[in-house]
Amino acid sequence: MEPVFPFDLVLPERGEGTLTEALHRQLRAAILEGRLAAGSSLPATRRAAAALGIARNTVTNVYDLLVAEGCLQSRRGAKPVVSPIARPATPRMRSIRPAGARLLSRAWRRPFARFEPSANPAGQSFRLGIPEHRYFPHETWRRLSARALRALARQPFRYPPTEGIAELRGAIAQHVAFTRAVSCRADDVIVTSGAQQAFDLVARMLVTPGETTVVVEEPGYPPLLAAFAGAGARLVPVTVDEEGLCVGRLPAAARIVCVTPSHQAPTGVALSLQRRLALLEFARANDAVILEDDYDGEFLFGGRPIDALQMLDRDGRVFYVGTFSKSLFPGLRKGYVVSPAWAREALTAVKHCADSHSDLVTQSMLAAFIREGHLARHIRRMRALYAERREALLDGLAHELSGWLEPIPAEVGLFLGTRIRDPAAAHALIAKARIATPGVASHADYAMRADCPPGLSFGYGVIDAKEIGSRLAGLRRALGR
Amino acid sequence: MEPVFPFDLVLPERGEGTLTEALHRQLRAAILEGRLAAGSSLPATRRAAAALGIARNTVTNVYDLLVAEGCLQSRRGAKPVVSPIARPATPRMRSIRPAGARLLSRAWRRPFARFEPSANPAGQSFRLGIPEHRYFPHETWRRLSARALRALARQPFRYPPTEGIAELRGAIAQHVAFTRAVSCRADDVIVTSGAQQAFDLVARMLVTPGETTVVVEEPGYPPLLAAFAGAGARLVPVTVDEEGLCVGRLPAAARIVCVTPSHQAPTGVALSLQRRLALLEFARANDAVILEDDYDGEFLFGGRPIDALQMLDRDGRVFYVGTFSKSLFPGLRKGYVVSPAWAREALTAVKHCADSHSDLVTQSMLAAFIREGHLARHIRRMRALYAERREALLDGLAHELSGWLEPIPAEVGLFLGTRIRDPAAAHALIAKARIATPGVASHADYAMRADCPPGLSFGYGVIDAKEIGSRLAGLRRALGR
């Protein structure tokens, strides 16, 4: 018998909530993520109930809920049809024409771009930027949560310090020194609400609207760009080639250069040592600062790592931004800036404007997680797992797709970039890849200009080694047709 | 025998961590909070050890730790001396002359004001803005945490939506409808990192730097002011009198009016209904918007509450900001904006720039806490507790201090304001009150101009009814001298 739904539904075990809730949640997710295509009809309640071995009434209730939420459209006597409300399958910049524009600030009055990340992965995919949840030490995390909440219960409530609690700042200083050889003391660390808040605070502190020229990588990470655009920066995209950001092309007017030297987002290129030194020299000569975004540099696979820019900086010009979204999980919303001493006080004042301080309990949990060695252990374990996936990816690319895609060398991170060998065939290839290897990122989606060299990046945070092989083989078959 | 420390040290019970940790934590807090005055010397290790009945070595270790942290200064052969690092006992605006100013944006290049909240209360105090921790349902909160973390473990990691998770937005809509009669749907709610982020997002969305005129209350809440100043607003302070903000004095140029209508911060005045209607009419006539900060309006004591401004708004001009810092706890860092529909998309885009989204686990916990009725129950219980304290405060003011202080009528909130009857004697009175009734807030500390009518506000979040009486009697004795 053919399955009635184009994906597996998981019926709950005892104690995991009702059947209705479980079905509702899964169908809703499938509709929002586009796994159930808009316009397609769902099986009749009788057929679905029989196939799943559950009461027809349960299916009817779930359909009614979905209709009430606008996920399904019901037509009298006919099978319900999926509404066109899925989130996009690929990230994109959407142009928004604001309502009530006359009341908005000048910056937001014009149509503005809003980055829409792709839908959260449905099962395994090549989606970038999301780590594996299955091997996370959830039990340890729960234990630390219970401990932090017991400590909360023992003391009067208080407002935590704006720059972060001392325990966490100390733990982060120790962590970056150990994993990335970044030299800093606890005092240099400001805890932020993810890397995004770090970008935003630095942008607001340094950008004079309409005046300050800021270099971003082309292609580059759109949310960083949005933070600087939102602060009123004049953005200048500078090309990335096989050695990373083309430092020779930086405009002399650049006051801030944003760069992902360990693992360029989204191509995966490493900034060469020569370019690093040239970039630091540029900053010195032009009185500029550098924002170093090191989002997944903890995951090193052999090779000798190139030092963080921050470590080479002798002049207090580098803001080093890190995040726990990749080494732990994105919903945690914790990141940090290692700031030059001269900027620390202003940065803290901007953070105080922005949201006073970060939440106390999560800070305590994270501090304990680092201090007790769980983070180092977790990174070590995940590095081995990701290394295996990376090998599978490199193997698959070499054996199945070497005629079409050329891997971009990189020894680090949670994804691997490739160049498309034949730019003329890129459009068709990308379209097929989106189907055969869902979640894959086209470099053009991250570029401001149309002339970005075509490429694809494959994440391996949420896909097993075995699955990587079979999906790449599938892409090969699709391309061979 | 005289105590060796000017406050009680609590030695840990078995299983609560080591003696060294406990002593270190308590001495450190005492130094940072100014209970051990800068320059005073600590008892010699031998004497302290004997008085506390512990090993001398433990005391030595603790002193060494404190010296290493800079809390103590050690002098060979002499007793260690407390370093001058205590945080201020009263909130204040500190002017900061930025280092590296040439690299900062124009807004931060000039000396800027940084609000420094007063030190966290040492034991019971009249400090404003902090709720009672002793009756918080910590066990329920831990249970919901464990549940949210188990749910986290069952699903792939994902990036939560920028505007907040659907469950929490729905729960907040239901909560504000119930407690404050604010009319909204889940779609109108944007989850923020505390009320401060709500101020900041609204400011950034609406303020064109150097152009937009923003009215703030005088006296008013400094962190809100900092958010608008940071966004480049032209701030105009408008006086608060016995009916609240003097709406008749609003400049026609005002594009945004920030107001605390339920319980003016810090005087406690309620904005009269007439003024509310006049304010809405002003906004309509001048094409302005209103930011309604309703930070402790859930705590209503008898009387008929005046409706929220948002409820009277027929024209989509009110941004209603709420927080869980007072109804739950400040370290939670959760607040929200109920936004007019026209601004929702831009506000979400600004939030995405600012920090992408709020953390997932706390959102889930909070949604369940509201949905299952724990928040309503907790507020009800705390309202009874705070009502008792408020009565004690009103009694004490009437019986002990009616010659000096006149209570400002208010039926709501976590503190009570008073006017000082004799402005000429205000300076001396305030100085004595800071000692006899620590944590009390002088209205002048919240004012931009020097002509603010003198007043004191007494918080009752972290002080028992009995203690209120005895402290007010103490103030009376101090004034009688």
Contact residues on chain B for A146, CB-CB shorter than 8 A: 142, 145-146
Give the total residue count for chain A.
Answer: 481
CA distance A469 to A460: 12
- Can you tell me the mean pLDDT for A132-160? 94
Can you read off the two tokens belonging to residue B62?
A: 């603790």
- Can you tell me the mean pLDDT for A362-372? 97
Contact residues on chain B for A104, CB-CB shorter than 8 A: 205-206, 343, 346
Report pLDDT digits (tens) over A174-189.
Answer: 999 988 889 899 999 9
Interface test with B, best of A234, A359, A362 (most B CBs within 10 A): A359
- Min Cα distance A151 → chain B (Å) is 10
Angle subtended by helix axes A222-230 and A194-206, to nearest 10: 30
Report pLDDT digits (tens) over A93-102.
Answer: 667 777 777 8
- Min Cα distance B18 → chain A (Å) is 15
A residues 80..119 contacting B (CB < 8 A) = 96, 98-100, 102-108, 112, 114-115, 117
Backbone angles phi, psi at B355, to 5 degrees: -160, 25
- Can you tell me the mean pLDDT for B363-381? 97
pLDDT above 90 covers a percentage of chain B that reads 67
Q: Is A249 within 8 Å of A217 (Cβ atoms)?
A: no
- Min Cα distance B143 → chain A (Å) is 9
pLDDT at B238 over 50: yes
The answer to whether A197 faces chain B, any CB pair under 8 Å, is yes
Contact residues on chain A for B106, CB-CB shorter than 8 A: 208, 211
pLDDT at A92 over 70: no
Q: Which of A138, A194, A316 sits opposite B355 (nearest CB)?
A: A194
DSSP B77: T
CB atoms within 10 A of CB A147: 13
pLDDT at B19 over 90: no
The answer to whether B148 faces chain A, any CB pair under 8 Å, is no
- Min Cα distance A409 → chain B (Å) is 27
The answer to whether A7 faces chain B, any CB pair under 8 Å, is no
Q: What is the interface size between A and B, counted as CB pairs within 8 Å?
A: 276
For A304, counting Cβ atoms within 10 Å of its Cβ (0-12 exposed, 13-18 middle, 19+ buried), the class is: exposed
pLDDT at A13 over 80: no
Contact residues on chain B for A357, CB-CB shorter than 8 A: 333
Which pLDDT does position B468 carry in this prediction?
Answer: 97
Q: Which residue has the tokens 């105009």?
A: B236
Structure-model confidence comparison of residues A92 and A321, the more confident one: A321
Q: Which of B96, B193, B359 sits opposite A349 (nearest CB)?
A: B96
Which stretch, B27-31, B35-39, B60-64, B264-268, has highest mean pLDDT? Answer: B264-268
DSSP string spanning B98-118?
Answer: -TTGGGS-HHHHS-EEEEEPP
pLDDT at B1 over 60: no
pLDDT at A17 over 60: no
The answer to whether A142 faces chain B, any CB pair under 8 Å, is yes
- Min Cα distance A230 → chain B (Å) is 7
The answer to whether B341 faces chain A, any CB pair under 8 Å, is yes
- Can you tell me the mean pLDDT for B24-36? 77
Can you read off the two tokens belonging to residue B351?
A: 């939030």
Q: Picking from B53-62, B199-208, B255-264, B321-330, which range would have the lowest pLDDT averaged per residue? A: B53-62
- Min Cα distance B353 → chain A (Å) is 5
Q: Which residue in B has a C-alpha nearest to residue A87's C-alpha?
A: B161
The answer to whether B21 faces chain A, any CB pair under 8 Å, is no
Contact residues on chain B for A186, CB-CB shorter than 8 A: none
Q: Is the peptide bond before B80 cis (omega within 30 degrees of 0)?
A: no
- Can you tell me the mean pLDDT for B233-254? 97
CB contact under 8 A, B138 and A149: yes
- Can you tell me the mean pLDDT for B86-90? 63
Q: Which residue in B has a C-alpha nearest to residue A327's C-alpha?
A: B157
* Closest among B218, B259, B254 to B234, alpha carbons compared: B254
pLDDT at A15 over 60: no
CA distance A24 to A40: 17
pLDDT above 90 covers a percentage of chain A that reads 67
Q: Is B317 within 8 Å of B168 (Cβ atoms)?
A: no
Q: Give the pTM.
A: 0.84
CB contact under 8 A, A158 and B120: yes
pLDDT at A283 over 70: yes
Amino acid at the residue B256: I
Task: Please provide the average confidence, as pLDDT, over all residues in chain A.
Answer: 90
For A429, counting Cβ atoms within 10 Å of its Cβ (0-12 exposed, 13-18 middle, 19+ buried), the class is: buried
Residue A54 pLDDT grade (very low, low, confident, very high; cuts 50, 70, 90): confident
The answer to whether A156 faces chain B, any CB pair under 8 Å, is yes
Structure-model confidence comparison of residues B470 and B32, the more confident one: B470
Contact residues on chain B for A25, CB-CB shorter than 8 A: none
The answer to whether A12 faces chain B, any CB pair under 8 Å, is no
pLDDT at A148 over 60: yes
CB contact under 8 A, A342 and B100: yes
The answer to whether A355 faces chain B, any CB pair under 8 Å, is yes
SS3 label, residue B338? strand
pLDDT at A323 over 70: yes
Q: CA distances (Å), B466 to each of B32, B42, B458, in order?
A: 27, 32, 15
Contact residues on chain B for A359, CB-CB shorter than 8 A: 193, 331-334, 359, 362
Amino acid at the residue B135: Y
pLDDT at B340 over 60: yes
